[in-house]
Structure 1
Amino acid sequence: MKNLQDPLALRIASIMGVLCIALGAFGAHALKLEEPQVDWFDKASRYHMFCTGLMLYLAINRQRKVMYTNLFGCLVFSGCLYAMAMGAPKFLGAIVPIGGLAMILSWIILLISSFQDNSENQ
């Protein structure tokens, strides 16, 4: 039986989890945001949490390509939204969809790999 954990990926997923909770608490208690910054921050933290959950699963199941695609998507998508919420230039909004596409791609790669893994086990 193979080892089902990827230690580096598990560390990255754990760091992303810590950042997700810490940034969420920071946004809820320390930042005084106006509209639309509140919406940007909320969306960033929500997708950050979704990505972190997926990254944890991927780290445990040694799905590196999918995990790093998802990590890239999360960093771009949530990172740009967090930055805009905290006052960064609004042109970053044009980059956000690239992160969203990377997150979608990570799910597609996971789906494709599930068929490949299934055929190898039969």
Structure 2
Amino acid sequence: MRIWLVLAGLNGAMAVGFAAWGSHGLEGDSARWVGLASQFQLLHAAALLGLARFCAEGRRLFRPAAFLMVAGIVLFSGSLYAKALGVALPVPMLTPLGGITFIVSWLLLIPAGWLAGDHARV
């Protein structure tokens, strides 16, 4: 549980900081990219808070969902932050890959939630 809470706090703080930077220090496309990246980062940081509880209960299917949310933050938000800074990405499709990672993490919650109702350690 500790790692997911730490990552939730770190990502929440980063998202707020990047949002402030984007709204006060950037213009045009860069400001929009940072705004979108920080919005998704903050949303998924909040979701990690909830997942931390289920992970602490030993429910195994929730751990991959939490891991994929963190990976999605790195890929999606990280690539947009890099783009706003003018950093060339080593792989051009990182942002969409991050979006797909987010979707898969949320879809993984379907069987995890379904099976959690049976009180099994799933």
**What is the TM-score with the length of structure 2 in the denominator?**
0.83
Counterparts of 2:99 and 2:112, CA distance in 1: 20
SS at match of 2:37: helix
Counterparts of 1:67 and 1:54, CA distance in 2: 8
List alignment gaps of at least 5 residues for structure 1.
Answer: 1-5
Tell me the residue number matched to 1:3. Answer: none
| 1:45 and 2:50 are equivalent in the alignment | no
List alignment gaps of at least 5 residues for structure 2.
Answer: 56-61
Counterparts of 1:93 and 1:81, CA distance in 2: 11
Shift of 1:94: 2.1
Report sequence identity in percent: 25
Alignment length, in residue pairs? Answer: 114
Counterparts of 2:51 and 2:32, CA distance in 1: 28
Which of 2, 16, 28 is residue 21 of structure 1 equivalent to?
Answer: 16
Equivalent residues in 2 for 1:29-40, closer than 5 Å? 29=24, 31-33=25-27, 35-40=28-33
**What is the TM-score with the length of structure 1 in the denominator?**
0.83
Q: Report the aligned-residue RMSD.
A: 1.8
Shift of 1:16: 0.8
